[in-house]
Structure 1
Amino acid sequence: MWPEDEAAALAQGLAGYVKAVAEEIGVPHEGTEFEVSDTATAYLALAEGRGRDLMLVWSSEHGWSVAVETDPGEQPVTVAHLGSPLVPEPPVVARFVADVRAGEPGRPELTVADDRRLLARRLRDYIGD
């Protein structure tokens, strides 16, 4: 687990970052979730209206990915990864989503080093949004 003050700062920053990304993409607040536990993760619903919906997911280990929603209990099927940087500006994430929706391939998955202090610093600008 993370130290309490570090986890609180990370949660505040992630909340603001997810909100900024969601606004950039046009996802309503109720279509977003995030969690800070042993890892930090976020989820944004990308309703498509044809067949299975897409979701935009973020983790503190791999950054942003687009995956196909599956039935509960099944693993989502990842279709594209954004890659580095771990915390890109919201317009970059929105362009990634638009490219995936248009059929463009994402970059290969890149594992990002697990540096929680660096992650908290990158998310600090989103506290209070």
Structure 2
Amino acid sequence: MRAVAAGVPDESTTVEISDTATAYLGLPRRWLDRPDHDVMLVWSERRGWSLVVETEPTEDPVVIARHGGHDLVPSPGAVARFVADAAAGNHAGEKKPAPGTAATRKSLAERLRPYLHPR
């Protein structure tokens, strides 16, 4: 996650591994349609990367865009381009997860291994 979170303070990042693995990065930007709400980059082992706007605590976040394709672990550069494109109004990608994107934990662990950095 550090490879994708370049420039994002540690306190704005979270990783959770429970029944599913997820990651959260609070981005230092606002969305024009919701200037009072935080923008988040969220990763799920089932859906990959999504750019979302945080809403009220009782509401689900609003999905702006999902990184398209079947690759749940795109390169950090591809994720950065996805965020930049979405921020520019080019909401490329899929609104729903692509069918067949499920991966085993073992295969995901192997794909994520190059991005692990000891603290």
Match of 1:119, as an amino acid?
A: L
Using the alignment, how far apart are the partners of 2:3 and 2:89 within structure 1?
24
Using the alignment, how far apart are the partners of 1:40 and 1:63 within structure 2?
10
The reply to whether residue 51 of structure 1 matches residue 32 of structure 2 is: no
Using the size of structure 2 for normalisation, the TM-score is: 0.85
Query: How far did 1:110 drift?
Result: 1.6
Unaligned runs of 5+ in 2: none
Q: 1:103 maps to which residue?
A: 89
Match of 1:22, as an amino acid?
A: A
Report the structure, 1 or 2, having the larger helix content. Answer: 1
Q: 1:21 maps to which residue?
A: 4
Unaligned runs of 5+ in 1: 1-17
> Identity over aligned residues, as a percent?
52
Using the size of structure 1 for normalisation, the TM-score is: 0.78
SS of the residue 1:122 aligns to: helix
Report the structure, 1 or 2, having the larger strand content. Answer: 2
Using the alignment, how far apart are the partners of 1:119 and 1:95 within structure 2?
22
Within the candidate set 86, 91, 114, 1:125 is matched to: 114
